[in-house]
A and B are shown apart, each in its own frame.
Chain A
Amino acid sequence: GESVGLHLPTLSVQEGDNSIINCAYSNSASDYFIWYKQESGKGPQFIIDIRSNMDKRQGQRVTVLLNKTVKHLSLQIAATQPGDSAVYFCAENGSGNTGKLIFGQGTTLQVKP
């Protein structure tokens, strides 16, 4: 069945270091991917998205990489700050044009001062 998962449930990094959060997806028909950040008690916040016709997209301090060959998505955060501590979810649009998203299980990013 369709599923989106993340390799590590928790990632701990030192403040100032770069963070890499990984995600594996199983539906080869997915052509749109999004990373969300969710802080405790709040709704998910859009970070960055990428379409399948690209393999890299950069934002402010964040980069998303897409490897369609191995169905792998990653989020890189440069110079990680304490405010980056949150749960990060990847999501894919799956097959069909429903607008629905399939979410991964989430990775908790802990930033050590």
Chain B
Amino acid sequence: GAVVSQHPSRVICKSGTSVKIECRSLDFQATTMFWYRQFPKKSLMLMATSNEGSKATYEQGVEKDKFLINHASLTLSTLTVTSAHPEDSSFYICSASDETQYFGPGTRLLVL
């Protein structure tokens, strides 16, 4: 299957700071990438759809000014959690789609 990477794998930051998470499709070009959030023992919650060269489409209830998404190339999308607070602590997972969605390994964010 296709390979998707995420960086960093885990990050700890202070409340009020911003954190950037990168998602890369390593062996295929993805015009569409997706960002999910997952709480412990829960299913994946779609946050937004990231389209190369255009604005991201956010799901209802997801603050676009809080979670900034940039999809600058066919192999890279970034999610920036701005002014992070402890309630933003979660497991963030991206996926890249070439019809089937392939997922990255996830990023564990802990906001102190």
Contacts and interface: CB of A to CB of B under 8 A. Distances in A.
Interface of A: 34, 36, 41-46, 49, 89, 91, 98-101, 103-106
18 contacts: A36-B103, A41-B106, A41-B108, A42-B106, A43-B95, A43-B104, A44-B44, A45-B1, A45-B103, A49-B100, A89-B43, A89-B44, A99-B32, A100-B34, A100-B46, A100-B49, A101-B34, A104-B43
By secondary structure, the B interface counts as strand
B93 interface: yes
Given A99-B32, A99-B97, A44 B43 contact: no
5 nearest A-B residue pairs (beta carbon): A43-B103, A43-B106, A44-B103, A43-B105, A103-B43
A41 B93 CA distance: 11
